[in-house]
Amino acid sequence: MAAPPLAALPENERSLYEEIDTLLAAVGCDDDTRAAAAWYAVARAQPDAWQAQAASASESLRRLVEGQQQAERVWALHATRDAGGNAEGLRRLLLALIRDLRVVYLLLARQLARMRAAAALPEAERRQLAQLTRDIHAPLANRLGIGQWKWELEDLAFRYLQPETYRRIATLLDERRADREAWIARSVAQLREALSAQGIAASVNGRAKHIYSIWRKMQRKRVGFSELYDIRALRVLTGSVADCYAVLGAVHGLWPIIPQEFDDYIARPKGNDYRSLHTAVIGPDGKTLEVQIRTEEMHRGAELGVAAHWRYKEGGQGDAAYQARVAWMRRLLETRAEGDDDATLAAELRAELAEDRVYLLTPKGEVIDLPAGATVLDFAYHVHSMVGHRCRGAKVNGRIVPLTHQPASGDRIEILTAREPAPSRDWLSPQLGYLVTASARGKLRAWFRHADLAANLAAGRQILEREARRLAVPDEVLERLPAKLGRKGRDDLLVGLALGEVGVAQVTRALLDTQAPTPAAPAITQPRRSARIADKPGELTVEGVGNLLTTLARCCRPLPGDDVSGYVTRGRGVTVHRADCAALARLRERNPERVIEVRWQSAPDRAYEVAIAVRGYDRRDLQRDVTNVVTNAGARIVASDSHSDRDLGEVTMHFTLRLHDFGELSALLAKLSAVPNVTEARRLAGG
């Protein structure tokens, strides 16, 4: 690939790029990252030049340049949002759009270079740049653990957003600077002498205190400048963790410790993997002094973050450690609350509680995050309950989509609403896939709960009768259904169905489980015992006989979950029928002693044949749509036929399907009923 034409860049863009490249080199970024900074500068100034070379660029380089371009969407959202808006949401949106962690380093380096030159900008532009830095870039630098960039970004943003406060603290620091520096030099000499006397090899230096961190600590502790312990500070770097604790002992032996001002971030690292010992003591002349103690490796990590590990990534044992570090850091970046304390962040990482989320935009650019797989209807209910109740459609990036559409991170969602709320009870059905989040379902249930009792009873009765008809279940079993489902009575069950408190799958399973048992009069005199079928162990248990060939009756085609009975044939083993099968009833009348008890066992790998009928108003592609639903549900079509009634404009389709269990049948019938123009989808009584 050709070198980027940097000489053709405008002077200001070329100067900015050179500053960025210096910053990236200082933290040890790899060649691809530095090249991406150059090509992004070209892409901004000369888009055609980048487009001409993009095809020949490596996938890594394209990903890094495109990541910087995608970040511009977030900057644009930040510029238009109200002050104090959802900054954390924008940070998470940025990280959802960017999948290569190195892009974040490019963004931070560019922002720091721009902030260093911000004094020459008009005040309004300078403040906008500082606001973006404070809201997005400085927190990201903190999460990545890049101390040297974090402090400078924070100080520069503070300088332009609160210039009077910045100057006041800077003036306090400047006062008696010579005296303070002389005092620090004396403290450094005393500590070096104490460490040398104990044979501890370590470097000791004064540590600069940043203006923004001083102001934050004054605000957090509600104290004045003179009451801060760490205006005067030392940093000690050692070769090992054991030496860190040895230095700590020497410090506490040299100067009196200040109680409650000791923190062990080696034993308990911060959420961004920062490790160090912090202690405060009464130093020379009775003045307070903060001392930070860490190893050289800890110091590199504190200053450079994950970039400190990049130099190890070319093969060798360090490669696996580097990859683990990057994966860990990405989980850290994606944690939800910027205000969480370090212990909470660390606990979330250890427990792997970070949930997959999608980050979506309202038409005004606000960021809303939902669990992965949430639908546009979930989005509507998240915005407001009434928006969900009035929802009639949705647009994603300007394109109309169904309410079951699952948007991706970065999509802009517009909810289309009606004047009056009129939610559908179908939205509560998990099989139809309208709602994924529990909060949205709860809001919808609350709406229907406040509807009048008669409406809930009617809706529940419709659901119950529809399921009984779909699955060809006899009407007489309905009276035992409330007790089976733990409801107080029939009306309580109907209301529960209407509100979605009782699922359709629960009802359909119970409908079969509560069918009246058929009394048998076995004439077999041998001791009754259980035996599994011979050809597929674990699918059925036959009571009273053992080691018999067992087949499923073709007249009724029972499915796992159906109430079944067996009939002992002559020469063909046991034939298994549905308990309500008409053919079985005739056999029982002739030979009651041959009817035996049969019950299902688990058989996850076996498929069974079942017959269904689908009826609807004929239209173009209706049969194709129905067939697609069947195949997408994982069912295999064994046989099918259809009949059209031209006078009524109706079509009836019959399918023989292979399914694994009753649950699959119930879900499939619900999906078929939702196909446009379909008026009925049910199991045939003989199948």
- The answer to whether residues 335 and 273 touch, using CB atoms and an 8 Å cutoff, is no
Name beta bridge partners: 443.
none
Percent of the chain past pLDDT 90, that is, above it, reads: 15
State pLDDT tens for residues 291-322.
Answer: 999 998 888 777 665 444 444 333 333 444 44
Question: Is 623 or 348 the better-scoring residue by pLDDT?
Answer: 623
Most confident of 143-152, 190-199, 267-276, 598-607: 190-199
CB atoms closer than 10 angstroms to residue 279:
21
Distance CA 28, CA 21 (A): 11
How much is the mean pLDDT over the chain? 76
DSSP state of 85: -
pLDDT reported for residue 558: 78
Question: Is 671 or 306 the better-scoring residue by pLDDT?
Answer: 671
pLDDT reported for residue 429: 80
Name beta bridge partners: 600.
540
The pair of structure tokens assigned to 677 is 């123009």
Q: pLDDT-based confidence at 176, cuts 50/70/90?
A: low
- DSSP H helices in 295-337: 296-304, 318-333
The pair of structure tokens assigned to 510 is 């119970």
Distance CA 634, CA 659 (A): 8
Question: Is 515 or 563 the better-scoring residue by pLDDT?
Answer: 563
pLDDT reported for residue 511: 61
CA angle 640, 641, 645 (to 5 degrees): 150
Quick one: which of 251, 253, 256 has its CA closest to 277? Answer: 251
pLDDT reported for residue 211: 76
C-alpha Rg value of the chain to the nearest Å: 36
Distance CA 492, CA 512 (A): 20
Q: CA distances (Å), 597 to each of 157, 260, 519, 655, in order?
A: 79, 74, 9, 30
Most confident of 19-28, 221-230, 263-272: 19-28
Q: pLDDT-based confidence at 3, cuts 50/70/90?
A: confident
Q: pLDDT-based confidence at 138, cuts 50/70/90?
A: confident
Of 188-192, 392-396, 524-528, which gets the smallest average pLDDT?
524-528
3-state secondary structure of 678: strand
Q: 624 CB contacts (<8 Å, ≥6 apart)?
A: none
- The answer to whether residues 9 and 42 touch, using CB atoms and an 8 Å cutoff, is yes
Distance CA 43, CA 37 (A): 10
Q: CA distances (Å), 671 to each of 469, 501, 606, 625, in order?
A: 16, 20, 23, 11
- The answer to whether residues 211 and 173 touch, using CB atoms and an 8 Å cutoff, is yes
Q: 252 CB contacts (<8 Å, ≥6 apart)?
A: 279, 281
Q: What are phi and psi of 107, to 5 degrees?
A: -65, -40
- The answer to whether residues 626 and 654 touch, using CB atoms and an 8 Å cutoff, is no
The pair of structure tokens assigned to 335 is 């944690």
Distance CA 344, CA 280 (A): 25
Q: What is the mean pLDDT of residues 416-426?
A: 90
Pairing of strands 233-238, 288-295: parallel
Distance CA 549, CA 539 (A): 12
Which residue type does 227 have? E
pLDDT reported for residue 473: 61
3-state secondary structure of 407: coil
pLDDT reported for residue 342: 38
Most confident of 171-175, 345-349, 504-508, 633-637: 633-637
Pairing of strands 574-578, 550-552: parallel
Size of the chain in residues: 687
576-582 long-range contacts, Cβ below 8 Å, gap at least 24? 576/540, 576/550, 576/551, 576/552, 577/553, 578/553, 579/515, 579/516, 579/517, 579/518, 580/473, 580/474, 580/515, 580/556, 581/553, 581/555, 581/556, 582/555
What's the per-residue H, E or C state across 590-613? HCHHHEEEEEECCCCCCCEEEEEE
Percent of the chain past pLDDT 70, that is, above it, reads: 72
State pLDDT tens for residues 432-444.
Answer: 889 988 889 888 8
Q: Is the pLDDT of residue 490 over 80?
A: no
The pair of structure tokens assigned to 49 is 């030049």
